[in-house]
Amino acid sequence: MNYTKQIQDIAAKLFAEGKIDVFVGYRVNGFDDNQVPALITDPQDVPKLVFTDKSVFNLVNYLKSEHTRRKRVGLVVKGCDSRSLNLMLTESQVKRENLYVIGICCEGVVDETGQKMQNCVECAVPDAVVSDELLGTPMSGSLTLTYRVNADIAKLSEMPLTERAAYFEEVFENCIRCNACRHSCPLCYCAKCCIDQETATLYNGANTTSSAFHALMTWSLHLAGRCVDCRNCEKACPSHLPLHLLHKQNESVIYENFQEHLAGVIPEDRGAFYKYSLKDPDDFIM
């Protein structure tokens, strides 16, 4: 998967036609072949842009940054990224007319060891669902969008409750409360986040197991039915915590009760999190 040439051409054209102020893509780190997100405002920097299977980070995250706000933005999105973009649009966080979206029909990205990432192996929507221009060969037609329980969640649910509790206790114990997961999440765009309230009793700034528990649980519940499984959070975690488990568990509960899954695939669909009816089941709440 290498769309470097096409993306450079498109970005150069957009700058030349004056259609964008800033282009959000990837460039090579300069020291190893890992890639870093690049926010380009100068057309001279366009040749630095790349796109390969190491273009991991979900760039929709930058639509909440001060560098792109109220600007016309060119953006590269993979399948999962486009779903988070769809949600940003649905939740009125960005204006579609300010964006020029280059969609990728993604074949999966790799982690630092060169292995295909787990979410890419399980990916149900590899093609960008929002785009002005689509690169690659779409394969959505041949995909089945039926819900499958995540293998890790299936394994966890077979564990006895005490063992499961001990496992998650370890997760929360190893959290260092740096909040990189939240900052890396494209859908965490609140100007003031509740877990930053240092005077609050639940989420005090201390790095204790209980504050980590409350912060991570609140965070994951705010993403219930919205998480697009891009794994930005998990890649960002300096303690390598298996954060996807929290989101996947939410996904399975939502599917069981509301028969909804794959957030952000359908434009304008607000998802279970935003819909309320008096008939909503609530027996899954503790």
Partner 1 sequence: MSFSTFVTDKPGLQKFYEAVLASHETYAPAEKFGKFDFKLVSRISECDPESPIAKTQSIKPLFFPRSAKVMKYVATSAGTDVSEVDEDPLAVKRIIIGAKHCDARSLQVLDKVYNWDYIDTDYQKRRENTVIISTRCDKADTHCFCTSLDYDVENLDAMDVLVVNGAEGKIYLRARTEKGETFLKENFSQQLAVGSEQSEVGSRHSAEEEMKKQYAAFAESFRLKMNYKEVNERLSKIFDTPEFEKVSANCVSCNTCAFICPTCHCFKISDEKVKDTGLRYKSYDSCNNGYFTLMAGGHNPRPAKYRRWRQRAMHKFVYYKERFGENLCVGCGKCTIACPVNISIFEVVNQVASAGIQE
Which residues sit at the interface with partner 1, rule CB under 8 A? 29-32, 34-39, 57, 61-62, 65-67, 170-171, 174, 176-180, 182-184, 196, 198-199, 201, 204-208, 210-211, 232, 235-236, 238-242
Q: How many CA atoms lie within 13 A of 71 on its CB side?
A: 20
Of 182 and 248, which has the nearer Cβ to partner 1?
Answer: 182
Question: Minimum Å distance from CB 80 to partner 1?
Answer: 16
Question: Minimum Å distance from CB 93 to partner 1?
Answer: 16
Of 168 and 255, which has the nearer Cβ to partner 1?
Answer: 168
Of 247 and 261, which has the nearer Cβ to partner 1?
Answer: 247
Closest by CA to 261, choosing from 122, 118, 102, is 122
State the amino acid at position 154 in one-letter form: A
Of 169 and 256, which has the nearer Cβ to partner 1?
Answer: 169
Question: Minimum Å distance from CB 194 to partner 1?
Answer: 13
Helix 209-222 / helix 161-173 crossing angle, nearest 10 deg: 100
Please give the Cα distance from 281 to 277 (Å, whole number): 9
Please give the Cα distance from 286 to 267 (Å, whole number): 32
Please give the Cα distance from 75 to 10 (Å, whole number): 11
Of 25 and 225, which has the nearer Cβ to partner 1?
Answer: 25
State the amino acid at position 110 in one-letter form: V
Question: Minimum Å distance from CB 59 to partner 1?
Answer: 9
Provide the 8-state DSSP code for 226: T
Of 177 and 270, which has the nearer Cβ to partner 1?
Answer: 177
Question: Minimum Å distance from CB 266 to partner 1?
Answer: 28
Residues in the chain, total:
286
Question: Minimum Å distance from CB 236 to partner 1?
Answer: 3
Other beta carbons within 10 Å of 58: 25
List the structure tokens of 166: 């001990």
Q: For 64, phi and psi rounded to 5 degrees?
A: -100, 5
Distance of CA 64 to the CA centre of its chain: 13
Question: Minimum Å distance from CB 88 to partner 1?
Answer: 16
Of 117 and 171, which has the nearer Cβ to partner 1?
Answer: 171
Residue 63: CB partners within 8 Å, gap ≥ 6? 73, 75, 85, 88, 93, 94, 186
State the amino acid at position 239 in one-letter form: S
